[in-house]
Amino acid sequence: MSDETDFTPEEIEAGRLLFAKPAVFMKGVVNLDGLPDEGPAEVAFAGRSNVGKSTLLNALVGQGGLARASNTPGRTREINYFDLDGQIRLVDLPGYGYAKASRKDVEQWMALTRDFLRGRSVLRRVCVLVDSRHGLKSSDIEIMDLLDEAAVNYQIVLTKTDKVKPTALAKLIEATVKKIARRPAAHPAIRATSAEKQYGVAELRAELASLARA
């Protein structure tokens, strides 16, 4: 799937209406015992440190300060939960792939993420965010392997697409589609977004809104 709009106006509007509702920070979780009780559908966001997770989350809900963006890669060290009007929960997973973090910290974050992915029955999808300037890295492949093993549906969401030329973006999308084609848990549609320019945000809202209704 390319970056072309493939939603009806009604689906786009449903996404807009859902994400216009109040979004609130629920809690930060450092171990599985701290996870909130299962309720509405959950969508998690994973990605390399500094890929723009917090910025995209803020763009989705239209609240600049909901998720804290940091200039220090690897700052997110817990699972952060956000509730969207009781209809869907957005889950910000710890960033991965940052070399300056200690090995012990990285192992703890990865273990927490792994346990979360394997044991959350209301988790509908994981959005794996990938910087469009760099494409898939080895750490992204590791997360995808983990998601395939855990049989958790995931979708590649390209970020910062305003930083690359349209021809380069088209080639990246084509190459990424080929790389995920035989992965059992990968969603076939690639979402191309720019939080800064709002590109692809309405389509991602529509996609996630459909999961809330499922």
Residue 67: per-residue pLDDT: 66
State the first-to-last Cα distance of the chain, in angstroms, to the nearest integer.
21
Segment 113-139, tens digit of pLDDT: 788 888 789 999 999 999 999 999 998
The set of residues, in sequence order, having a beta carbon less than 8 Å from that of 174 and lying 6+ positions away, is none
| Sheet hosting strand 41-47, strand order edge to edge | 23-29, 79-84, 88-92, 41-47, 123-131, 154-159, 191-192
In a domain, 97, yes or no: yes
Query: What CATH number corresponds to the domain at position 108?
Result: 3.40.50.300
Segment 147-157, tens digit of pLDDT: 999 899 999 99
In a domain, 118, yes or no: yes
Domain count, the chain: 1
Domain of 104, in residue numbers:
9-213
Rounded to two decimals, the pTM is 0.90
Residue 98: per-residue pLDDT: 59
Segment 63-115, tens digit of pLDDT: 877 766 544 444 457 889 999 999 999 999 888 765 556 677 667 777 777 88
In a domain, 48, yes or no: yes
Segment 27-43, tens digit of pLDDT: 988 888 899 999 999 99
